[in-house]
Amino acid sequence: MLKKFLLGCLPFLLMFLLIPAALYAPDFYARRCEARLLSSPKDRPEMEGMLSEQAQDIPVLYTLYRNRYLGSHYDTIYSEIPQEQAQKLLWDRLFVLNEHQLLKPDFLNWLFSAIDTSIKASPSSISEGQGIQGISTQFSLPDVESLSVSVNTFVPDDLVITFSVSSNLSSAPLTPDLVFFENFLERYKSYLGLDVLTDWKAPVSGDSNITSIWSEEGQIYLFCLQDWDDSDHTFSFGAISMSPEDFRGVDLKETVFASDS
């Protein structure tokens, strides 16, 4: 009789044990998972848009990539420098470009001459930070209203990473054949030490004034641009770090102009 009674009570007893067990089972499971999480290291998630190890070994590439990540104005100091100092710095850069046969001698001579004969110059600005030094100067010449030159240099290796000249002088030799050597972008790529990247492609641009090449592995875009209207002439070249997503989605011309500023 007692045994039958106890057997009858057993299912209810089990249910009274099961209910609290069920209520605390999620806690128990969570604690077990937490203990596992805390007891052993975990693989890092893959970071999208990360520069490859090979590309990171190229200092200029890594610096441009890093600066893109941090923002262009991160840890950068802007100041004004005297005209003479700005001229000297510009000449240094132009000599380097001449030495590496990136820009044609006639154009460089014209530019030296124009800078040398400038009659008035606005205060020149210089920016330093993130391994990049930028100089921007505007000259006034007798027969032109203005001549603007800006150049950014990767300081550790003294490499010009953007160069831009803008003038309203109608006789200035600012056409691609007069400014750039042939195969300019190939020369520029070698100059920057980016030959080790093997996935260079020439993107199709709707604008005939832009010539460019792109490496997805290095997330780097090299370009040269020539643009003019009735009175204003602009040419520039440079290297821009951008993610593959940005490269596919952006207006290249706008990007190029934005990089000048």
The site for other proteins (CB under 8 A) is made up of 8, 11-12, 15, 18-19, 21-30, 33-34, 37-38, 40-45, 47, 56, 59, 62, 66-67, 69-70, 74-75, 129-131, 156
Question: Cα 222 vs. chain centroid, distance in angstroms?
Answer: 10
Q: Considering beta carbons, is residue 24 or 95 the nearer one to other proteins?
A: 24
Least Å distance between CB 36 and other proteins?
10
Instruction: Please state, in angstroms and as integers, the Cα–Cα distance from residue 43 to each residue in 21, 47, 48, 167, following that order.
Output: 33, 12, 15, 55
Cα-Cα end-to-end distance for the chain? 97
Q: Considering beta carbons, is residue 5 or 261 the nearer one to other proteins?
A: 5
Separation of alpha carbons 156 and 170, rounded Å: 37
Sole residue written with tokens 């440079």: 238
Q: Considering beta carbons, is residue 31 or 248 the nearer one to other proteins?
A: 31
Q: Which of 187, 135, 185, 193 is nearest to 165 (CA)?
A: 135
What single-letter amino acid sits at 92? Answer: D
Q: Considering beta carbons, is residue 14 or 202 the nearer one to other proteins?
A: 14
Q: Considering beta carbons, is residue 40 or 208 the nearer one to other proteins?
A: 40
Q: Considering beta carbons, is residue 51 or 151 the nearer one to other proteins?
A: 51
Least Å distance between CB 204 and other proteins?
32
- Give 228's strand partners: 233
Least Å distance between CB 129 and other proteins?
8
Least Å distance between CB 33 and other proteins?
6
Least Å distance between CB 21 and other proteins?
8
Q: Considering beta carbons, is residue 56 or 125 the nearer one to other proteins?
A: 56
Least Å distance between CB 34 and other proteins?
8
Separation of alpha carbons 247 and 68, rounded Å: 13
Concatenated DSSP letters for 89-157?
A: HHHHHHHHHHHTT-B-HHHHHHHHHHHHT-SEEPPEEEEEETTEEEEEEEEEETTEEEEEEEEEEETTT
Least Å distance between CB 100 and other proteins?
24
Q: Please say whether the beta carbons of 191 and 163 come within 8 A.
A: no
